[in-house]
């Protein structure tokens, strides 16, 4: 983690909570989905995304269910499996089964097709799929996987993705930083200051945290604007969460 050298800017961050219960929803039988932002048949003009963050879908895929081959372009796509497993194949020649606690990154760039299925005949798959708008269009698609069991430090923020690929993170096509937090009850972590990415989105995967006067439970989200300085996150219960540092 890095603080910007010479950072002296002070401001009062603006926070907007997105409670889990207020998200959009869809039930297709084989798929139950919750939408933080407008997606597919769910449309809410007040929730179209946040900065470059466009999609925050929390899906449960029934055994044997899945998405047949379909196209994407000009989108940064991240998939995190919470429970179960997800089988993936794409036009780049990648084939993998993503298991709990693991992440998949796909930069759709100039165009890619892929399929996603729950390969189990018994267990559900529970996951997040997250999309960011890229800061450039076209180019060659990219693919990468991460196993958080090998990366995530307890009671810390682990940098997974960044625009410059620093500190062992995977480089993405956006001026953004994506951290994973795993914090034990009663512990506090500090979100590093950043002038270049002065906004943040926090998405709680499990547990309960407090930050900037807000209390967030499992699946709650929080938009933080005008926060170039450091701030803290405290776990009220053992918690996992994503932290996105985003440019204006």
Tokens linked to 52: 């470059």
What gap in Å lies between CA 202 and CA 17, rounded to an integer?
A: 9
Q: What is the pLDDT of residue 9?
A: 45
Mean pLDDT by 10 residues, the chain (248 residues): 41 92 97 98 97 98 97 97 97 96 96 97 98 96 91 93 95 97 97 94 98 98 95 97 96
Please state which CATH class domain 152-248 belongs to: mainly beta
Domain boundaries defined on the chain = 19-147, 152-248
161: which 2 tokens?
Answer: 């993705």
CATH classification for the domain delimited by 19-147, as one of 2.40.240.10, 1.10.40.30, 1.10.1040.10, 2.60.120.10: 2.60.120.10
Contact 215, 236 (CB under 8 A): yes
């Amino acid at each position: 983690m890095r603080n910007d050298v010479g950072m002296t800017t002070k401001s009062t961050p603006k926070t907007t909570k997105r409670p889990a219960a207020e998200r959009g929803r869809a039930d297709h039988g084989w798929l139950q989905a919750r939408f933080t932002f407008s997606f597919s048949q769910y449309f809410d003009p007040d929730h179209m995304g946040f900065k470059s963050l466009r999609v925050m879908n929390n899906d449960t895929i029934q055994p044997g269910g899945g998405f047949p081959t379909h196209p994407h372009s000009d989108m940064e796509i991240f998939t995190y499996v919470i429970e179960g497993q997800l089988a993936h194949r794409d036009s780049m020649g990648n084939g993998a089964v993503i298991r709990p606690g693991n992440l998949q990154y796909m930069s759709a760039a100039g165009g890619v097709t892929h399929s996603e299925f729950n390969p189990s005949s018994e267990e559900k798959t529970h996951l997040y799929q997250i999309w960011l708008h890229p800061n450039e269009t076209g180019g060659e698609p990219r693919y990468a996987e991460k196993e958080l069991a090998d990366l995530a430090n307890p009671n810390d923020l682990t940098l997974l993705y960044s625009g410059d690929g620093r500190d062992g993170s995977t480089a993405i096509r956006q001026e953004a930083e994506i951290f994973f937090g795993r914090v034990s009850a009663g512990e506090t972590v500090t979100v590093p200051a950043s002038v270049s990415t002065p906004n943040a989105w926090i998405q709680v995967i499990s547990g309960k945290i407090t930050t900037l006067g807000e209390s967030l439970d499992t699946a709650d989200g929080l938009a933080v604007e005008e926060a170039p300085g450091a701030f803290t996150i405290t776990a009220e219960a053992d918690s996992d969460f994503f932290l996105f540092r985003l440019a204006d």
